[in-house]
Chains A and B, each alone.
Chain A
Amino acid sequence: MGTILFNAFSFLQKQLKEKNIPCTNARVPFSEGQRVKDVLRNMNIRDEEIEGVFVNGKIAPADTLLNDGDRVAAFPPGTPGPYRLLLGIVKKVPDSLGKKQNEG
């Protein structure tokens, strides 16, 4: 058992607020062995509603194991910024663009 400090941003924050689910600096309990994605599913958030997750200020996989006191935040698709790539929000190289580069 433990608690995390949880935040949701953008459309996700609005959506959770409408359902009266605490999502700004909220203390959320979790059970031993639970991962970020378990907490999100408990809030009825679907996988496709999440583009990225922060754990303690760093972009992390949704299956990251939770520790007591972790700071967790989730944000949906549509989050801009020069740092989508730099923060690791965007990870995949579109195949076709990579191919074009190789072609010259």
Chain B
Amino acid sequence: MSRILRINTREKRYSFESPSPELQALGGRALTSKMILNEVPATCHPLSQFNKLIFAPGLLSGTPAANSGRLSIGAKSPLTGGIKESNTGGLVSQKLARLGIKALVLEDKPIDDAYSIIVIKKDSVEILPADDYLGTTNGDMIAKLWERFGKRVGVASIGPAGEQRLTGASIQFADPKGHPGRAAGRGGLGAVMGSKKIKAIVVDDGGADKLTLHDPDAFKAANQKWADLLRNHPVSGQGLPAYGTAVLVNVINEAGALPTQNFRSGRFEFAGDISGETLAANIEQRGGIVSEGCHPGCVIRCSQVYHDKDNNYLTSGFEYETIWAFGAHCMIKDLDDIARMDRLCDDVGVDTIETGVTIGVAMEGGLIPWGDSKAAIELLKKVGTGDPMGKIIGNGAAFTGQALGVDRVPVVKKQALPAYDPRAVKAVGVTYATTPMGADHTAGYGVCQNILNVGGTIDPLKKEHNVEISKDLQIATAAIDAAGLCLFVAFPVLDHAEGLQLIVDMLNAQYGLSLGASDVVQLGISILKDEHEFNRLAGFTAKDDRLPDMFKEVFPPHNTTWDFTDDELMKAKTF
């Protein structure tokens, strides 16, 4: 049976324990959120010794199940002050699972300033001095650790922003090629890792046996169908591999929902210049990689490697939300400069959504001109240097807005809104307002059976049905995060009757269970209940579930406003 590995970062000692009966059946987000609720005082300071940082592979992670290599990282967020689950690809999830580690828990914090790295292997756990690595960027960190411990080891690291415990700090993960292109970006978890003085975690599953499956034949049969389902669906099999998530730039712009110039309108004049189509054409012309996976066993492969005009590497995992944040939000139309900012964020270790939105808030505050990509790059380069302005930017949109006297600050629970305007796609606005995570599009990304009861067409510009949709999406997403599956499996699962059952079949074959589809929905609900309870204990109330006043402004081209009452929003949290 897999175990929980606890590391006391003050005493530099570790212990393994068997999970309690309550935790045995949980994985991924279900496990991190349950443990945070049970073990972290909700009122604690997120950077104190009382917070914990928990890494948990999803339930299917480590098995051959296609697209099951996602990792959940949980803590009390220093950005939001509430519970956080940040989800990432990379190599760590599958390797932890194969080592039989259900959760890695970092506890306490050192009294001195000495940093450590943690090295986890089949028969050993080492906590080694890391002072030589201080100040190292994530890109260099992964290169050094691969040189020291071997290529292909899993790496989670923080950059200078995490060391400085900035609330926009991310934890970056080596992708299969060793680029720091995967991130647990949201919620400032890099600052929690920095508070515990852990510079990096290395996970080497060399010599580990394959995971034991309860019914290998049934698992293989279900996984075969599952992989075929993902490969044969037009979204996961064609659209995402060809254009990545950036294919959404043009579509969301056309829908009038691409927030432009700090959420002033839903269309960006230069959307085509920063679109997925332009991105793919540049890669084809210059070199780079159009399509690659964020973890082994991914069959969707929506990541890419993007080069500049001289065919030099610029960045990896160049996502829609990043392109929007530094692009339309800041009125920047130079895709290569946006790629440079993506790389800077990955290296210094800050969330690209939070930081891109923050740059736009800095433009709102008059610090640099709208659309000036060179000034934005120079501002971003200050993050992690110790420069006071860099510290302001690295602490995110709410902090920067306050520092600059700005009244249009697009955050919920102090976390920056992502790339879909809540007035033009209202269900996602409900999710931004009510998810325990703070404004987060991935908290309601997916589909479940309940949604299908709504059926028909839902007008994204009106209020009707959008609360129910958001609630059902949040439930489904929580369950997918617990399974360790990539969220993009949601597209084929929606379109094929068999999809959800195949996930259940794989879980049953792996663990010897007899779950039904309704159990998956119940799992999603139980996760959300745990998370809402933590936030309640932390002091969150209905006032924290509102969008800022700026969304009462009329939003062209559809000229809609944000018009939900507290009572209406509360229904998205009532199970």
Contacts and interface: CB of A to CB of B under 8 A. Distances in A.
Question: Are A and B part of the same complex?
Answer: yes
Interface stretch (A38-46, A62-70, A76-84): A76-84
Nearest to A24: B272
B456 interface: yes
A97 B452 contact: yes
Interface in B507-565: 517-518, 557-558
A104 B518 CA distance: 7
A79 B518 contact: no
Interface in A71-93: 71, 73, 75-88, 90-91, 93
A46 to B, nearest CB: 15
Contact of A88 (B458, B466, B497, B518): B458
A97 B500 contact: yes
B452 A82 contact: no
A9 B469 contact: no
Contacts of A71: 254
Contact of A7 (B254, B257, B428, B451): B254
B20 interface: no
Contacts, number: 140
B496 interface: yes
B235 A101 contact: no
Most chain A beta carbons < 10 A, residue from B238, B251, B456: B251
Contact of A98 (B445, B452, B518): B452
A97 B497 contact: yes
B457 interface: yes
B495 interface: yes
B248 to A, nearest CB: 5
A13 interface: yes
A34 B15 CA distance: 73
Given A10-B277, A82-B473, A87-B425, A94 B452 contact: yes
Interface of A: 7, 9-11, 13-14, 24-25, 51, 54, 56-59, 71, 73, 75-88, 90-91, 93-98, 100-101, 104
Interface of B: 234-240, 242-243, 245, 247-248, 250-252, 254-257, 266, 272, 275-277, 281, 420, 425, 427-428, 441, 444-447, 449-453, 455-461, 466, 469, 473, 488, 491, 494-497, 500-501, 517-518, 557-558
